[in-house]
């Protein structure tokens, strides 16, 4: 058993998850929905962490820009090991030898806005349909807010409140 994949704080810290941890969890869900078993994710993340030189690889733009290349190269050179198979499951090779992430993972990564330093800044939450609800550490104290108005999603009236709560 290794270190936790998602960054958290101790319960007595007043908050249990940072934006970096939320971004990591968000991308981890995408990888799991792409069909990759958890026991195969950790070796791929370790490889990405080593190759890209970043601690929170799931919360970094480098996962999107450089990660597919690293995983593809790793899968090609590692043979038929479980780790290489997990890397192949995350990456799809298309025409002209272009490497792209599995479309499920790619769609999740596209919902994260990054700072210039490559770290997650804003996460656009997908479960709210056409309403743009975001988690932004600079606004709303990190609680989900409506992107346009900046008001807290939990304060929304009537039907929308019920829709947000039960989705």
| Residue 150 banded pLDDT, cuts 50, 70, 90 | low
Q: What are phi and psi of 22, to 5 degrees?
A: -65, -45
The per-residue pLDDT for range 71-115, each reduced to its tens digit, is 777 778 888 887 787 777 777 655 455 666 777 788 888 888 888
Q: Give the model's pLDDT for residue 160.
A: 47
Average pLDDT over residues 31-49: 80
Q: Give the model's pLDDT for residue 14.
A: 62
Domain ranges in the chain? 11-115, 129-167
| Residue 157 banded pLDDT, cuts 50, 70, 90 | low
How buried is 123 (Cβ within 10 angstroms: 0-12 exposed, 13-18 middle, 19+ buried)?
Answer: buried
Q: How many alpha carbons fall within 13 Å on the CB side of residue 32?
A: 10
Q: State how far the Cα of 108 lies from the Cα of 125, in Å rounded to an integer.
A: 9
Whether pTM exceeds 0.85: no
Mean residue pLDDT of the chain comes to 76
| Residues β-bridged to residue 133 | 125, 146
| Residue 155 banded pLDDT, cuts 50, 70, 90 | low
């Amino acid at each position: 058993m290794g270190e936790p994949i998602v960054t958290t704080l101790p319960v007595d810290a007043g908050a249990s998850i940072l934006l970096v941890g939320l971004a990591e969890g968000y991308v981890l869900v995408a990888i799991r929905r792409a069909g990759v078993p958890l026991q195969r994710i950790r070796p791929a993340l370790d490889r990405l962490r080593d190759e890209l030189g970043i601690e929170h690889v799931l919360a970094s733009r480098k996962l999107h820009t450089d990660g597919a290349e690293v995983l593809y190269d790793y899968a090609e050179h590692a043979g038929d090991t479980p780790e290489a198979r997990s890397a192949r499951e995350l990456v799809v090779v298309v025409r002209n030898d272009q490497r792209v992430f599995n479309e499920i993972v790619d769609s999740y990564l596209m919902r994260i806005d990054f700072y210039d330093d490559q770290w997650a800044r804003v996460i656009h939450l997908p479960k709210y349909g056409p309403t743009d609800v975001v988690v932004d550490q600079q606004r709303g104290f990190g609680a989900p807010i409506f992107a346009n108005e900046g008001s807290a999603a939990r304060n929304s009236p009537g039907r929308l409140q019920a829709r947000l709560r039960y989705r």
